[in-house]
C-alpha cells in the first residue's frame, strides 16, 4: 500500500532524494510492516526535510549533516508545532538515517547525536458510562423512529464493537464477515505489525453486530463482498465515513468535545482498568506490543479517582 499520492502537493525531490525516500517507504511497509498512518507520517516528515535541504543546495542524503537536522527541527519550533509532533519528527529522522547507514547510503549517521524533546504524553479523552448510555440511547431512539435503517444499525454495531473489543478503526474497517465467531462470541482482527489477535465480545455487541449483518448489511451488499462493514454503495466502509458517523453521534449525545473512533478504544481500556482488570489482559485485548503503552490507562483511572475524590471528599 503506497502513500506516495499523499505528497503530490509538496516540492518535487531530485532523483537521489526521491529514490532514498521511496526505498525507505518500502522498507517501512514491507519489511517493518508499519501501519499506513505511520508510514505516511514518517515519509511526510522526511519529504519536508529533504525539500528543505534541497532548497539549500544539498544534492542528496549524503550531504545532510547534524546541523541541517537541527535547523529543520528549529523551523518546527518557529511554527509552534507541538512537542509530540517534534518528537515524531526526530523519530522519523533517526529511523531513516539508521536505515540509510545500514545500507551504505550515508557514510555515518548524522542523527546519532540528535537530541529532541520527549513528547509529553497527555491523558486520552475518555467517555463515562453515562456518556456511553446517552450515545446508545440516542441511537436506540433513532432506530425506533426509523426501524431497520441501515445507517443507524451500522453505527450501533460499530460503536458496540469499538467499545466492547477496544478496536482501532483500521482494524474495524478491515474486518470481514468471517472475523466474527458468533458461537464463541469473538472478533479476530489484524493489528499493527500484521499481528492477529482474537478478542471476546460482550452480549450487547454481539447482538448489535448480528442485527447489522441480518438487517442492515443485506440492504447494501453487492455481489460477494466479504467486508463486515459496508457503505451504501456496497463497498467496504472507509475510515472517513465511519469517523463522520461517530463524530455526529458524539456531538449529538455528549458535551465532552470527544471525536473520532479512538475515544471508544480509550474508554474501553479505562473502564476495564476501573473494573479491576489485570493490566496485562488489557494489553492483550488492545494488541499493544509493550506494557508501557497500556499503562497510560492506569494513570487515566488514577486521575479520574483524584477528580472524584476532590469533588466528593469533605476534606479534599
* Phi/psi at 190 (5° precision): -110, 115
Determine the Cα–Cα distance for residues 310 and 192; give it in Å rounded to an integer: 39
- Reduced 3-state DSSP string for the chain: CCCHHHHCCCCCCCHHHHHHHHHHHHHHHHHCCCCHHHHHHHHHHHHHHHHHHHHCCCCCHHHCCHHHHHHHHHHHHHCCCCHHHHHHHHHHHHHHHHHHHHCCCCCCCCCCCCCCCCCCCCCCCCCCHHHHHHHHHHHHHHHHHCCCCHHHHHHHHHHHHHHHHCCCHHHHHHCEHHHEECCCCEEEEECHHHCEEEEECCHHHHHHHHHHHHHHHHHHCCCCCCECCECCCCCECCHHHHHHHHHHHHHHHCCCCCCCCHHHHHHHHHHHHHCCCCHHHHHHHHCCCCHHHHCHHHHHHHHHHHHHHHHHCCCC
- Residues with a catalytic annotation lie at 168, 192, 262, 265, 288, 297
| C-alpha distance from residue 313 to each of 129, 162, 301, 304 (Å) | 21, 34, 17, 14
Amino acid at each position: 500500500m503506497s502513500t506516495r499520492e499523499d505528497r503530490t502537493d509538496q516540492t518535487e525531490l531530485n532523483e537521489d532524494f526521491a529514490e532514498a525516500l521511496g526505498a525507505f517507504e518500502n522498507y517501512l511497509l514491507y519489511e517493518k510492516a508499519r501501519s499506513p498512518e505511520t508510514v505516511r507520517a514518517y515519509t511526510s516528515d522526511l519529504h519536508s526535510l529533504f525539500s528543505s535541504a534541497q532548497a539549500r543546495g544539498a544534492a542528496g542524503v549524503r550531504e545532510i549533516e547534524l546541523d541541517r537536522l537541527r535547523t529543520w527541527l528549529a523551523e518546527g519550533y518557529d511554527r509552534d508545532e507541538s512537542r509530540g509532533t517534534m518528537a515524531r519528527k526526530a523519530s522519523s529522522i533517526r529511523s531513516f538515517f539508521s536505515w540509510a547507514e545500514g545500507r551504505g547510503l550515508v557514510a555515518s549517521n548524522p542523527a546519532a547525536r540528535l537530541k529532541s524533546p520527549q513528547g509529553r504524553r497527555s491523558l486520552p479523552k475518555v467517555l463515562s458510562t453515562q456518556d456511553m448510555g446517552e450515545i446508545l440511547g440516542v441511537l436506540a431512539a433513532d432506530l425506533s423512529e426509523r426501524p431497520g435503517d441501515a445507517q443507524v444499525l451500522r453505527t450501533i454495531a460499530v460503536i458496540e464493537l469499538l467499545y466492547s473489543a477496544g478496536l482501532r478503526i483500521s482494524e474495524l474497517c478491515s474486518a470481514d464477515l468471517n472475523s466474527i465467531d458468533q458461537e464463541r462470541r469473538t472478533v479476530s482482527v489484524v493489528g499493527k505489525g500484521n499481528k492477529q489477535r482474537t478478542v471476546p465480545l460482550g452480549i450487547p455487541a454481539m447482538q448489535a453486530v448480528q442485527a447489522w449483518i441480518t438487517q442492515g448489511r443485506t440492504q447494501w451488499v453487492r455481489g460477494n463482498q466479504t467486508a463486515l462493514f459496508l457503505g451504501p454503495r456496497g463497498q467496504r466502509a472507509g475510515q472517513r465515513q465511519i469517523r463522520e458517523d461517530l463524530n455526529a453521534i458524539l456531538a449529538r449525545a455528549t458535551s465532552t468535545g470527544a471525536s473520532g473512533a479512538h475515544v471508544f478504544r480509550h474508554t474501553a481500556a479505562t473502564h476495564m482498568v476501573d473494573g479491576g482488570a489485570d493490566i496485562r489482559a488489557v494489553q492483550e485485548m488492545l494488541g499493544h506490543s509493550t506494557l508501557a503503552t497500556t499503562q497510560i490507562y492506569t494513570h487515566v483511572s488514577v486521575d479520574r479517582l483524584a477528580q472524584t475524590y476532590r469533588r466528593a471528599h469533605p476534606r479534599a
